[in-house]
Amino acid sequence: MIPNSRTQSLLLNIAHAFDHLALLIFATAVGAIATDFGFSRWEDLMPYSVGAFVMFGLGALPAGKLGDSWGRRPMMLVFFFGLGASALLVALTQSAWQLAGALTLLGVFSSIYHPVGIPMLVQGAKRPGATIGINGLAGNLGIAAAALLTGLLVQAIGWRAAFAVPGLVCIGIGVVFARVVPVESEPPSRRPRADVVALPPGQLMRVLMVMTVASATAGLLFNLTTNGNGQLLAERLDGLVNDPATLGALLAAVYALASLAQVVVGRLLDQVPLKRLQMTIVLAQAPLLVAAALAQGWWHYAALLGVMILIFGAIPFTDAVIVRYVDDSMRSRVAGLRLTLSLSFSSLAVWALGPVVKASGFEALLMGMAGISVLTALAVSALPGEARQRSDPAAAQATL
């Protein structure tokens, strides 16, 4: 097994940031792109980005298989260079359909990170919950950077630079990764089995099915917020803040603060029963979503911050389940299958976002999201309880 050096961990966390940054540049720049391409409303351009999110889910399955059978290091190199090149391609598009094709290609390469990068990061980790939490922080800082950097670049240079600059940087990081991360001696599928919490096949299938459903519904909330918050904030702060760069900075602040929740949750996952912790976070989402639906101005901004803290705080749970119950030799394949099922479903949010807001407004959308959070809680309630805390790995057994 490759030692998980600090440099390798740092680069893998940076990769997570770039993965989310690249996917959400469009959501922040959609107003400027719509104007450039002759659309009268930003909502009409949103469906053209759905291919990126569909492939973000569908591509995870082959990416995970290749990560286990070919190697995680070579797949991460494909990620860096492919993501950077496709971002440059988006910057060169001249029509909505060209944009849709380039964004779909970007989604293909972005699908590599989660089933490959996260298993590579946690292999051999002594405290996987904390490692996942820090990695989640990095990913969400990428979301914050998308809001801030895109707003600044759109205002200063134009929307094409918002894709080109991160694309070039991503390729540069790929060069560094190739130079400093050692070649794997063998692919994960050929490595000796490591210690995990053993469950009978039927019980393990139940846990993974529940977490896939919960991941899909949580993914709907994540996609609806991260893709819609830019326009939502512009609407609710209209008359108070209208400058794109300032709106981007305000949204980046929300994401940056909310990202800290993943560090806290990650540490708690090593100590607190998973089901109890996840239920607490998910049940708190609905009332805050209702508050955000009804509030205006700075009260809405405060409610949105609370919403994003809870949505981001729910992200680490699925990866924690996979690390706890699935051997490293097949984690990329299991993660890829789970991501394909859940993310393909949650990508519908990106397709529906523009038409729903155009027809019913953000208030109805946020109320619907409160209902989705309740469905997530129902799914999580089917998880087994845990007899003991994760801090004693040998004794951490699920009770059904």
Cβ(337)–Cβ(64) below 8 Å: yes
Task: Return the pLDDT at 395.
Answer: 38
CA 347, CA 116: separation in Å to the nearest integer?
Answer: 20
CA 33, CA 151: separation in Å to the nearest integer?
Answer: 12
Task: Return the pLDDT at 195.
Answer: 52
Residue 200 pLDDT level (bands cut at 50, 70, 90): low
CA 161, CA 223: separation in Å to the nearest integer?
Answer: 24
Lowest mean per-residue pLDDT among 118-132, 156-170, 301-315, 368-382: 118-132
Give the structural domain span for 156. 6-399
Question: Is 1 within the bounds of a domain?
Answer: no
Counting the structural domains of the chain, the total is 1
pLDDT of 2 above 70: no
Residues 145, 150, 152: CA angle, nearest 5 degrees: 100
Task: Return the pLDDT at 201.
Answer: 67
The position carrying tokens 């981007």 is 248
Which residue blocks in 157-273 are alpha helix, DSSP H? 159-180, 201-236, 244-269
Lowest mean per-residue pLDDT among 18-32, 241-255, 386-400: 386-400
CA 201, CA 182: separation in Å to the nearest integer?
Answer: 35
Sign of CA dihedral 318, 290, 295, 44: positive
Please state the rounded mean pLDDT for residues 152-176: 94
CATH number of domain containing 216: 1.20.1250.20
Cβ(329)–Cβ(189) below 8 Å: yes
Cβ(301)–Cβ(250) below 8 Å: yes
Closest-CA residue to 346 (of 375, 383, 308, 317): 375
Please state the rounded mean pLDDT for residues 337-352: 77
Please write the tens of the pLDDT for every residue from 109-139: 999 999 999 989 888 777 878 888 888 888 8
The SS3 call for residue 385 is: strand
* Separation in Å, CA 331 to CA 65, 69, 130, 247: 9, 11, 18, 39
HSE-CB for 330 with a 13 A CA cutoff: 8
Please write the tens of the pLDDT for every residue from 287-335: 999 999 999 999 999 999 999 999 988 888 878 877 777 777 788 888 8
Cα-Cα end-to-end distance for the chain? 33
Task: Return the pLDDT at 248.
Answer: 82
Closest-CA residue to 350 (of 60, 30, 48, 78): 48
pLDDT of 3 above 50: no
Residues composing the chain:
400
What's the mean per-residue pLDDT of the chain? Answer: 85
The SS3 call for residue 396 is: coil
Task: Return the pLDDT at 301.
Answer: 93
**Strand 398-399, strand 385-386: pairing:** antiparallel
The position carrying tokens 């089917």 is 382
Task: Return the pLDDT at 399.
Answer: 36
Residue 15 pLDDT level (bands cut at 50, 70, 90): very high
pTM > 0.85: yes or no: no
Q: Which residues pair with 398 in a beta bridge?
A: 386
Cβ(261)–Cβ(197) below 8 Å: no
Q: Which residues, including other chains, have CB under 8 Å from residue 289's CB and lie 6 or more apart?
A: 307, 366, 367, 369, 370, 373
